[in-house]
Structures are given as C-alpha cells and as structure tokens.
Chain A
Amino acid sequence: MAAIFHGFGPAAAALSSSSSFDSKRFQLPSLKSQTERKGSVLVVRSDGRVIPGSNPKGRSAGKLVTNAVAAKADSSATATASKPGHELLLFEALREGLEEEMDRDPTVCVMGEDVGHYGGSYKVTKDLATKYGDLRVLDTPIAENSFTGMAIGAAMTGLRPIVEGMNMGFLLLAFNQISNNCGMLHYTSGGQFTIPVVIRGPGGVGRQLGAEHSQRLESYFQSIPGIQMVACSTPYNAKGLMKAAIRSENPVILFEHVLLYNLKERIPDEEYVLSLEEAEMVRPGEHITILTYSRMRYHVMQAAKTLVNKGYDPEVIDIRSLKPFDLHTIGNSVKKTHRVLIVEECMRTGGIGASLTAAISENFHDYLDAPIVCLSSQDVPTPYAGTLEEWTVVQPAQIVAAVEQLCQ
C-alpha cells in the first residue's frame, strides 16, 4: 500500500481508513509496488521501514538512545557488519544529502559563513568547495541580512541556493529578508517567482553556549506565510529532509540541533527522499500520544523507557514538519489514544507547542479525554551555568511525570 507519487511519501497512508495500528502494516509488503519513478529513488513511509528486515530506526523496539548528544557506537558494532547500508554521523548524512543534490542539479549552490575553505563550522560542507569550486560553495562575509537576500535574489532567477546560518540565532538579522522576500514573493508576484531556497543551520540549547547562541527560532518563523519548516533529528531523516528541502519549490527552513550533529546511525545506501510534510512514527503505542521534534525526541524516548517499565504504552511521534503540521498523522494518533502530550524545546510563549496545542484542540477536540499538556522550555534566556541550563529544557523525568498525570 505504498503508492508513491511526486517524490513524496504518503502520509501514513495505511492509517487513513483504520483507527488502530496494526503492527503488520509496518512491514512494507514490497517496494516493487512503487509506481514508475525516475532513477532509484525510494520514497519512504512515515513509519520508516525501507527494506523489510533492516532496521534503520531501531529505536522503536528496544534500543533507546540514552545520551541525546552523541550516540556511542556500542552494541551496534557487532550486529551492523552484516546489515545493509552504511553508518555515519548526522552531519555526514547532511553532507551526503547535500552532495548528492549538488551532483544531481548544477543550480544547487551553498552560501554561508565559513562553508567553503573552512569546511563549515559543523563540517557539514567539508570538502565541498574543493569539489565544486568557490562559486558554488560560497564563503560569505558576516552579513546575514544581505547574503540571505542575495540567496533569495538568486533563487528568483532559478538557482537553488542553500543558506547556512552558522547558528540559527544569527538568522534573526536576516528576518526581514526571510519574512518579506522569501516567504511572500511567490504570493505578491502572483506566482511569477518561486523561491526554492533552503535556509538551514543549527539551533537549540547546546552545552553552555550562552543565551544568544542557544536560540530556538522555530517560534519566530512559524507565522511567516509561504515558508515551510522542518526539523531533523536523526541521520536518516536529516539526509532525507535535506534532499527534499532542496528539491522543493518552496522556501524551506531546515532546523538542525547543535547537540545532534554527532549522532550515529545506519542509513540505506540507496537514494531516498522523505516527505517534507510528514511526521514520523517513532514508537507506536496505545495510551498517550507524545509529539516532539528535534533533540527532545531523545529525551522523550528516554522517558519512554521508564514509562514502559511502569506499564504505560506511549505513542511517540516526531512531528518533523513544523510548518505545516502533519495533522493527518497526529489526528489519527489522537483518535486512537485520546491523550496528547507535546514535548518541545521551544519557549513556552508562542512556541511550536502552543500552535500545535491550538491546532489539535481545534480539530480534534471531541477526541480528547484530557486537556493537552505542553512541556516546553522556560521563558528565560538560556543561562550559562550548566545546572541552570539543564533546567531550562524539558528533562525526561518531567516527561514521565506529565504522562503519569495525564494517564490517571
């Protein structure tokens, strides 16, 4: 049941008719049922299985990542030798996606600070400048407003630039360009211009980076009409979302997280593109729906381990698409579990969680047995002290407590 079209996977297609999860459905019967596609691109369903038998998203069953910062290659060493695919870190996955797209389409170019000769401050564009030249991987001066504007101007003529903000927080300087020109030009020109630009960069609370370098810009950008926002959380979806974002005709903001760059995972060798509007089912369950994205996914999975031991069965969905929300997947999950907990790293006020709460209660109000609980970061500038910083973001213990309270 994996009809695939236009490079976008069906949004939990199997769930549209039934309201209960069937674990059998997670086995994609065969990929040969794909309709004709160019090349060998695989489009993957939201539950993530690409090849029956391989387990790129092994988190669903037993192995939960306890350290959200860097996955140590522990027991995977023995088992992975025979598995298909290759192992890499998240920033390498991003680079792979980027490189594949740059190979495929000569109009794709990168611009940002230190992306060229330096290789990218998080090594996402390492060695790309030597391969593609200085014009295609452009080192810009520290002028976010204008190089973002430049990327948008170039996109108006047909190039597909990727703007890297060294830290998402710096993109606040380019807010005018992103909001007015990037988001609105397609509309105000009556459809004459498309802006296929990708704006990406690491954000989120890191390791004691200080208030100005620990910003979560999802909440500021979310009301800009005309842009799409996605947040990646694993090497697998990082590469897929990067490719999808580059191929999309709309401006896409890809949110990465500073602490997730060294996550290691096994990803397929074949080319694959994920859907930008789709959420990812991390762990199916029955009792409560936990919606999360980016780094909080790992805190949630850690809490889920505890919850399972306590007898709860949480359903964890990585929403991935921050604008627009994948209300289809979320709705089906809410219909099943009737309880929602949102765990996010955004601020409490006006964050993604706030919008998601509103959207869910507007659309699925009748399906809810309890009010939606939203756990978000505190409305404070991120402090430098380690202990304080820890308490700015949501910790697994708080997630467990919230679930217990909701599921009474």
Chain B
Amino acid sequence: MALNQIASSSSRSNLLKPLITLFRPFSSSPADNTILTVETSVPFTGHNCDPPSRTVETTPTELLGFFKDMALMRRMEIAADSLYKSKLIRGFCHLYDGQEAVAVGMEAAITKKDCIITAYRDHCIYLGRGGTLVEAFSELMGRKGGCSKGKGGSMHFYKKDGGFYGGHGIVGAQVPLGCGLAFAQKYSKDGTVTFALYGDGAANQGQLFEALNMAALWDLPAILVCENNHYGMGTAEWRAAKSPAYYKRGDYVDGMDAFAVKQACKFAKEHALKNGPIVSTFIQLLFYYRLVSQSNAALERLHWNKQIRYRRQRILCSIGNMTAALSTPCSIIKFFGSFPFIILEMDTYRYHGHSMSDPGSTYRTRDEISGVRQERDPVERIRKLVLSHELATEKELKEIEKEIRKQVDEAIAQAKESPMPDPSELFTNVYVKGFGVEHVGDYGEFSIEIRLSGEKEGSEMPPLSTAEGWCGGRLGLEAYLLGFEGMDFSQILSYTEGNESFNQEAETSRPKLCFGISGLNMKPYTKIKVGYAYNRGPVPHFDPMRPLA
C-alpha cells in the first residue's frame, strides 16, 4: 500500500492520515544490512535553514527495534496506569503513551554520551536511555530497587551512565539545566550534544527564553525540543499562548512518526556540532489548521458565548501566524542571528490526561483522542511499515507484543517483591558523605568527634577498642550509627552498636552511643567523625511518618 502525502490545505482531512511513501529498491527479502528507505509522513518545515529531507534510511533491525521499543513503552505506560489505579503507585504519574515516537526516534539518532534532560513525563525516555523495566517499576512503587532508590518517584528518574539527566518536577526548570549540560559539554569539548525537552506548556516560561538567549549567546551544543502535545495540563496551547508560533519556534517535526523524529534529531545534532549556526523558526500554517480541525470538536461543546471568544482569538492567532510566516524575520529572530543551537518542535499527542488524576476528557473530546489514535498512532505506523516491508507477519508481531506483555508483567512482579527502602535511607544522600546534617530533634545526623581510646595513650593498639561519643537529646531515645568518616574502612573488621543511658554530671540520663570497633593498626586517640541519627524506637520499627509525641 503506497500512500502519497499531499501537503495541501485543500485536503485537510488527508493530512490527518498517516501517509507513508515506501520505496523498495531491492528485493523483497530483507537482510539485516539492507537499507530501507522510508519517507516521513509530513514534510519538515524549517525557518532560516534547510530542513532535512523527508527520506530516511533505516535497516530492518532498526525498524523492528523501533516496533519492539515502542510497544514496550506503550505496554509499560498502560501497566503503570493500572498499577496506579490499584494504588501501588501514588502521587503523580504522568504517562507518555502516544508520544513514544519521540523517545525512540531520538535515541536512534544519538549516542549514550549525548545527554537528554526532560520534565516529568520521563518513564519512556528513561527506558530508551538504557533503564530497565524492573528499575522503572520499582521506582514508581517506591522500592529500594528503583533507579533513584525509591526516593525520587515518577518524576525523578535518572540514569547517569546512560546520559539521562532526569526527571524534573517543576515545569521549565530543566531547560536551564539542559543548557548547563551543554555548557559542560562545550567546556570539555567532547563533541556531544544535549537535548533539552520541554512541553508546550513550559514554552511560556520565562526561564526558557533566558536559556535560549544564553545557549545562543555562547554557542552551546544544546538542542531544545518542544514536545508539543497541544495541551499544557488542561489548557490547550492556543488558549495559553497569544501566538503559539512565537513561543514554540522550532523546526516542525511530526512527533508521531519515529523516523521523522530520528531524522530531525540527527540533523539537529549534526547542525549543533558543525556550528551550522542557524536558528529555525516554525511556520505553522500547516500545523495551525490541523489544530483547528482537531479542536473544532472541542469547541462545539462550549457555550456559544465562549465559542465566539475563542473563535475570534483563533482568527487573530492565525493572522498573527500568517504575518509571522509571510513577513521577514521579526526583530527577535534577527537578534538571535546565527547560532549552532536549534529548537525542534515535535508535534505529538498524549492519550492519557496530563497525569493520572486528570481524566483527559474535560478539555478535549474522546473523538479527538480516538481520531489521533486511529490516524497517527506511532506504534501502528511502525507496524504498518514492518508489514509492508514484509519484515514480519502479523502473527509474529502479535507474538512480539505478547512477549512484551509477559516481560512487563514479570518486571512488575519482580518490582513488587523489591523491599521498601530502609528507614536509615531517609538520611542518606542528603549530603555527599552523609555528614554535616544538623541534629535537630529526633531526626537528624550529627557529626561528632570521638576518640578511639586505647589502654593508654601511646600504647599498642589492642585489637578491640571502644569509641564513645557525646550526644545530646531527649531522654529515652536510641541512636544508631550511620557511618564513619576519617577511618580507613578496610581496616574495620567489625563493629557493634549499643545504646545505654547513663547519668552525667547534669543528673539526667542521656543516651550514649557506644560501639566497638575491631580492626588492625588503629592508633589510639585518633579522631574520627561519626554520623548517627536518632529514631524514636528501635531501628527496625523506625517510622518517620509517626508524629512526634
């Protein structure tokens, strides 16, 4: 089935269909190193730069890989949905299904040394960067085996060795961080780039423009990618921005087409590294009309009064867009001039609501959602590609999906068995090395100095020595050790903890932390720092959520 893309405004409805032109220059049996060419569904639009060509080269392995990855991501998000509804995942859970093409296409174009940083809709990007399903689910359920040890949650997935820098909850705050990553890459001159992802809602943030300015000013190898799913939480983008063209400003990329994403990211990376110093602005007539058609249905549901207002706004918007499109670059663009950094806009869509607490249907119609699912679903698109290239049969694809479902279920089962974090984990990783947290009340670390006392000063160190520490606090509390510093820990063969009260000169009982260390070659009267924490009961039953008595 060869389908042609006609980019004309007359056949608007055609624009909504995923239309792919396939070329099969060689025989129909795909070998692993066959180059397949795929054409993207919608042409790229660029501003002040030549957009990349619509023809993307790929191999059967990559194509099948895309399918597997995206199906896995889709499955994971759906599973997370049901886990949330069964209250195993709490808090916020922002799901990425519908947008998988962006994650997968981007990964295909870059290496693990390049950095990606994104906002809170990060589960699939984490997977793409090399994260495992078990770690992802464990983190979502707050278990110790999670990628952030259960302390981050859905919005804080990180993978340092995979070049994934998160995972950030505050809208837009990750963009300056992304510029910082790019700055570090420029500083160390290692030829890598940073992709800083943000959404259409974040595109109205001031810090985005500050970051744009700085990235442009210092030629940072940063590529800012707007994952435009057209809704910032519950507000459609044309209701949040006076001129969506202005605030998005990117090369237009069809974000539901993984190959378009891949091509664009490859192009962007080369551009950024080669100092191809052009900023691209998005001329979005094409997009705009599509948006109009999609949101028409939503509009009809509004009261006629509001309808008038919004329609008027839309007309104004479109005039603004057309003016922007037709006129020469406005002063802002001129100011930007020519820089390596690039902005991409991925036109994508999310099926779920903004988060699990948002049904996703109050600000858009179910018809719109199912329309996009029918016509632009990224997984379906790849499935059709695979089938039409005869890389696998329908049955085989179904097998793959079943296998993926099994994988996901197994991962969930494994994650469910992962233990909750230890109570002492409350205090770890606040600071590096774990010292220096002031002791306040019951919970806290306290860095003290103690002496290892030997039999007498200057004597040979006995194999066992006792360390004592001063600690002040409330009566009846126990303290437990968190760690030592200043000792060669390989020398500590064993240590035991104990707590006892004793009467000091102030005639009060104070908890005294005692522990014995046995080791080799420890000099008497050496001073070491000890971190310890109070808890309100014995350590195994430490419950930080209990209110202080």
Question: Which residues in B have their C-beta under 8 angstroms from that of A158?
Answer: 184
- Please tell me which one of the listed residues A147, A193, A323 contacts residue B158 in the complex, with CB atoms under 8 A apart: A193
User: A292 contacts the other chain (Cβ, under 8 Å)?
Assistant: no
- Please tell me which one of the listed residues B117, B148, B173, B428 contacts residue A189 in the complex, with CB atoms under 8 A apart: B148
Inter-subunit contact A177/B176 (CB<8 Å): yes
Question: Which residues in B have their C-beta under 8 angstroms from that of A82?
Answer: none
Residues of B bordering A, CB below 8 Å: 115, 117, 146-153, 156, 158-160, 165-170, 173, 175-181, 183-188, 206-207, 210-211, 213-214, 217-218, 428-433, 435-441, 446-451, 470, 472-474, 485-486, 506, 508, 525-529
Inter-subunit contact A188/B152 (CB<8 Å): yes
Residue pairs across A and B with Cβ atoms less than 8 A apart, 22 shown, are A135-B218, A143-B214, A149-B211, A150-B214, A152-B177, A153-B181, A153-B184, A154-B180, A157-B184, A157-B185, A159-B187, A161-B180, A189-B167, A190-B151, A190-B152, A226-B430, A276-B436, A277-B447, A325-B438, A327-B446, A331-B470, A358-B440
Question: Which residues in A have their C-beta under 8 angstroms from that of B158?
Answer: 188-190, 192-193
Residues of A bordering B, CB below 8 Å: 1, 3, 5-6, 8, 10-11, 13, 16-17, 107, 109, 135-136, 138, 140-141, 143, 145-159, 161, 176-177, 180-181, 185-194, 225-226, 228, 248-250, 276-277, 323-325, 327-328, 331, 358-359, 362-364, 366-367
CA distance A155 to B178 in the complex (A): 11
CA distance A145 to B185 in the complex (A): 20
A141-B210, A156-B180, A176-B173 provided; 4 other pairs, C-beta below 8 A? A159-B183, A180-B169, A190-B151, A277-B447
Question: Which residues in B have their C-beta under 8 angstroms from that of A250?
Answer: 431-432, 436
Inter-subunit contact A153/B177 (CB<8 Å): yes
Question: Which residues in B have their C-beta under 8 angstroms from that of A145?
Answer: 176, 206-207, 210
CA distance A13 to B486 in the complex (A): 14
Considering the complex, give the chain B residue whose CB is closest to the CB of A134.
Answer: B218
Question: Which residues in A have their C-beta under 8 angstroms from that of B210?
Answer: 141, 143, 145-147
B511 to chain A, nearest CB (A): 12
B451 to chain A, nearest CB (A): 7
- Please tell me which one of the listed residues A150, A180, A187, A248 contacts residue B429 in the complex, with CB atoms under 8 A apart: A187
Inter-subunit contact A154/B152 (CB<8 Å): no
CA distance A367 to B470 in the complex (A): 14
Inter-subunit contact A149/B176 (CB<8 Å): yes
Question: Which residues in A have their C-beta under 8 angstroms from that of B451?
Answer: 16-17
Task: Specify which of B117, B166, B180 lies most central, judged by the most chain A CB atoms within 10 Å of its CB.
Answer: B180
CA distance A109 to B437 in the complex (A): 27
CA distance A3 to B485 in the complex (A): 13
Inter-subunit contact A228/B181 (CB<8 Å): no
CA distance A148 to B175 in the complex (A): 11
- Please tell me which one of the listed residues A249, A327, A366 contacts residue B438 in the complex, with CB atoms under 8 A apart: A327
Inter-subunit contact A180/B180 (CB<8 Å): no
Task: Specify which of A186, A189, A250, A367 lies most central, judged by the most chain B CB atoms within 10 Å of its CB.
Answer: A189
Question: Which residues in A have their C-beta under 8 angstroms from that of B168?
Answer: 180-181
Q: Are A10 and B430 CB-contacts (below 8 A) given A177-B176, A363-B472? A: no
Inter-subunit contact B431/A13 (CB<8 Å): no
Question: Which residues in A have their C-beta under 8 angstroms from that of B438?
Answer: 323-325, 327, 359
Task: Specify which of A140, A143, A151, A152 lies most central, judged by the most chain B CB atoms within 10 Å of its CB.
Answer: A143
6 closest pairs, A vs B, by CB? A153-B180, A149-B176, A153-B177, A324-B438, A190-B149, A143-B210
A319 to chain B, nearest CB (A): 11
CA distance A241 to B436 in the complex (A): 15
Question: Which residues in B have their C-beta under 8 angstroms from that of A156?
Answer: 165, 177, 180-181, 184
Inter-subunit contact B506/A154 (CB<8 Å): no
- Please tell me which one of the listed residues A1, A10, A153, A194 contacts residue B176 in the complex, with CB atoms under 8 A apart: A153
- Please tell me which one of the listed residues B156, B177, B187 contacts residue A149 in the complex, with CB atoms under 8 A apart: B177
Considering the complex, give the chain B residue whose CB is closest to the CB of A183.
Answer: B430
Inter-subunit contact A10/B449 (CB<8 Å): yes
- Please tell me which one of the listed residues A186, A189, A327 contacts residue B439 in the complex, with CB atoms under 8 A apart: A327
Question: Which residues in A have their C-beta under 8 angstroms from that of B186?
Answer: 135
CA distance A109 to B187 in the complex (A): 10
Inter-subunit contact B207/A190 (CB<8 Å): no
Considering the complex, give the chain A residue whose CB is closest to the CB of B139.
Answer: A190
Considering the complex, give the chain B residue whose CB is closest to the CB of A367.
Answer: B506
CA distance A158 to B115 in the complex (A): 13
Question: Which residues in A have their C-beta under 8 angstroms from that of B180?
Answer: 149-157, 161
Question: Which residues in B have their C-beta under 8 angstroms from that of A364?
Answer: 472
Task: Specify which of B153, B186, B430 lies most central, judged by the most chain A CB atoms within 10 Å of its CB.
Answer: B430
B149 to chain A, nearest CB (A): 4
B386 to chain A, nearest CB (A): 36
CA distance A12 to B456 in the complex (A): 22
CA distance A145 to B180 in the complex (A): 12
CA distance A192 to B148 in the complex (A): 8
Inter-subunit contact B472/A153 (CB<8 Å): no
Inter-subunit contact B436/A277 (CB<8 Å): yes
Question: Which residues in B have their C-beta under 8 angstroms from that of A11?
Answer: 447-449
CA distance A201 to B166 in the complex (A): 29
B466 to chain A, nearest CB (A): 14
CA distance A155 to B210 in the complex (A): 19
Inter-subunit contact B207/A146 (CB<8 Å): yes
Question: Which residues in A have their C-beta under 8 angstroms from that of B169?
Answer: 180
CA distance A23 to B217 in the complex (A): 58
Q: Are A189 and B183 CB-contacts (below 8 A) given A146-B176, A146-B214, A150-B211? A: no
Question: Which residues in A have their C-beta under 8 angstroms from that of B486?
Answer: 5-6
